[in-house]
Amino acid sequence: MSTPIPSTIDPSCHSRNDELQELHREYPEWGVWRSGTGRWWAFRTGYNPLTISQLRAGCRLIVQAESLSELRELMRTETLAAQRAG
């Protein structure tokens, strides 16, 4: 009888990957990554670049957060701000 090998894969990894895919679908104009310090970052891609007026209005190219849910909220806020600044 063989002994089961314990899994070394973090089970939260699958839900995190699902959440990352969902973020990409919701916000295709943003790229997302996690730094070596564990913080989550999002940057605007060339998909829908900011205009000069949006930059002057204070729209950010990069946001960072402690969690994916916090990052999602920042991305939503920045996307809405860019739409308002038109």
For 2-61, the pLDDT digits (tens) are 555 444 444 555 688 888 899 999 999 999 999 999 999 999 998 888 999 999 999 999
Residue 15, class by beta-carbon neighbours within 10 Å (0-12 exposed, 13-18 middle, 19+ buried)? exposed
Q: Which DSSP letter does residue 61 get? A: S
H helix count then E strand count, the chain:
3, 3
Give the domain range for residue 67: 14-85
Does 3 fall in a domain?
no
Q: What's the pLDDT score for residue 62?
A: 97
Domain count, the chain: 1
Does 49 fall in a domain?
yes
Does 6 fall in a domain?
no
Using one digit for the tens of pLDDT, what is the confidence trace for 3-15?
Answer: 554 444 445 556 8
Using one digit for the tens of pLDDT, what is the confidence trace for 58-82?
Answer: 999 999 999 999 999 999 999 999 9
Does 8 fall in a domain?
no
